[in-house]
Amino acid sequence: NQTAENLYGYSTSEVLGKNAFKLIVGISNFDLPNHIINQIKMGNSWSGQLLARKKSGEQFSAIASYTPLYDDDCKLMGITCVSNDVRPFKENIVASNSYSPSGSDSKQSQSRSIFTNKPRVDSQQPFQAGIASKISNL
């Protein structure tokens, strides 16, 4: 979609048929993507913060939520991903000074994740500023 193109810098034609994790995370750090894929295969969702990469090579911290995508027969067909650059959120926190995490340290930039079993997706809930993309062919 256009929003994903703006965030990551790849056109739709450039990513069709390619491994999105290799494009967005890079080959050098494939442990987390493998972990996410394994969780999806077990029917779990993954949400957290990870280091992403744009087509230009620029790295940025992203918030992402990966959810299994099932067909009508409950067969796993792929992954639905909603992601966003965290910089605007961090800038709002710093600018407003309305939030001060207690005990924050240098580990703040490390990946954080939340696992849930077979989530129910509410189609009425908008994803608003997020980016929805689909990773198929697991």
Give me the tens of pLDDT residue by residue for the chain, a chain 138 residues long: 888 888 999 998 998 888 888 888 866 667 888 899 999 999 999 999 988 999 999 999 999 999 999 999 999 998 888 899 998 877 766 555 554 455 444 444 344 444 444 444 444 434 433 444 544 444
**Is 111 within the bounds of a domain?**
no
What are the residue ranges of helices labelled H in 18-132? 20-24, 31-41, 87-96
Residue 66 inside a domain? The answer is: yes
Q: Which of 68, 71, 99 is nearest to 81 (CA)?
A: 68
Whether 104 is covered by a domain: the verdict is no
- Say if CB 114 and CB 48 are below 8 A apart: yes
Please indicate, yes or no, if residue 28 is contained in any of the structural domains.
yes
Number of independent structural domains in the chain = 1
User: Which pLDDT score is estimated for 29?
Assistant: 66
Give pTM, 2 decimals. Answer: 0.62
CATH number at residue 36: 3.30.450.20
Residue 13 half-sphere exposure toward CB, CA atoms < 13 A: 0
Residue 115 CA, distance from chain mean position:
13
Domain range enclosing 83 = 2-96+128-136
**Rounded to whole angstroms, how far apart are CA atoms 114 and 96?**
27
Contact 88, 75 (CB under 8 A): no
Distances in whole angstroms, Cα of residue 76 to Cα of each of 4, 15, 48, 68, 135: 23, 21, 22, 7, 11
Whether residue 30 lies inside any domain: the answer is yes
Short-list 7, 65, 52, CA closest to 25: 52
Is 89 inside a domain boundary? Answer: yes
| 118 part of a folded domain | no
Q: Please answer whether residues 138 and 41 qualify as being in contact, where contact means their C-beta atoms are separated by less than 8 angstroms.
A: yes
pLDDT for 30:
75
Rg of the chain on CA atoms, in Å:
16
Assigned token pair, 115: 């696992």
Residue 25 forms part of a structural domain: yes
